[in-house]
Amino acid sequence: GQRNDWFASTFITTFAVISAVSFLLLLPWEWTRRDPIVDIRLLFSRQFGMSFLVMMAVGAVLFSTTQLLPQLQQTTFDYTATLSGLSMMPGGIAMLMLMPISGFAAGIVQPRYLIMLGMSVVAVALWHTTSLTPDASFSFFAYARVYMMIGLPFLFIPISTAAYVGLPPQKTDQASSLINVARNIGGSMGVSLSNTVIAQNAQFHQSVLVGHTAQSSDTYQQTLRQVTDHFVAEGSPLVEARQQAVGWIGQEIGRQASLLAYVDVFFYCAIATAVLVPFALLLRPPKSAPAKR
């Protein structure tokens, strides 16, 4: 009951504060060590710091969409876990096929241009997903995932390449660890923020939609009559059919509010990804080896 909720809330808050304080103490401690476990200084260099930021964004998009799309399908569109997994499969195949092409392109084109290309493709794919409707088909989800995955191969390899530019050889292990941490932290932040936005925006959209169900609304009365007639045709008495119709309308409002909240998340992700595109120009190109004579 309420006591359990209070205990859980206190427990989460306490450990969140401990984690935040520990993180703040970690920064000056690692900064002042001669041989730190985590070389914080790398994050303050333009090249590696920007690569770290972009990789966090990639992790946020990859992990959040990997969770949100099946979650949306199973909660709002009544997909089974198997069916939602199948809708994600074409995207994985597309990414697998494009990885070798991305590796080949990384040896020809500067990483910053490939990163701009990848981020632009992901931003457009996320924008396309905002056209989601209550009657979206299986193919819509499959193609939406494919569009997202097309851009990601042109981010992973170029970001890793750009991150090592200008680093001394003894720092490569630290850089590799931090890049992996960036992807995981970005993914955790993306999943948490996305679910928070969904919960809050679903309540907002539901309150707006409920405002359109006033008894004086002609649309509401017409919908109520149509749904009531449907339940009467199925054999329910008139009074019970009307109650069932009101319940159905309430469920439909919740479903549409949830759908609009997911659309909001895809919209925010598209804008955030598009904003990061020009930041890739801040990355320095790798120095080419001098030609042998």
120-130, pLDDT tens digit by residue?
999 999 999 99
Distances (CA, A) of 220 to 208, 244, 251: 14, 15, 14
The alpha carbon of 81 is separated from its chain's Cα centroid by a whole number of angstroms, namely 19
48 — pLDDT class (breaks 50, 70, 90): confident
The contacts of residue 284 (CB under 8 Å, 6+ apart) are 46, 47, 162, 165, 166
The contacts of residue 83 (CB under 8 Å, 6+ apart) are 73, 138
CA angle centred on 148, ends 144 and 153, rounded to 5°: 150
pLDDT tens-digit profile of 241-269? 888 887 887 788 888 899 999 999 999 98
Long-range contacts of 249-252 (CB under 8 A, 24+ apart): 249/213, 249/220, 249/223, 249/224
Tokens 């569109």 found at? 77
pTM for the model stands at 0.80
Tokens 């794919």 found at? 125
The contacts of residue 235 (CB under 8 Å, 6+ apart) are none
Share of the chain above pLDDT 90, in %: 22
In the predicted structure, residue 232 carries a pLDDT above the cut 50:
yes
Composition of the chain by helix, strand, coil, percent to 5: 80, 0, 20
- The ranges assigned to domains in the chain are 41-189+266-282
Q: For domain 41-189+266-282, give the CATH number.
A: 1.20.1250.20
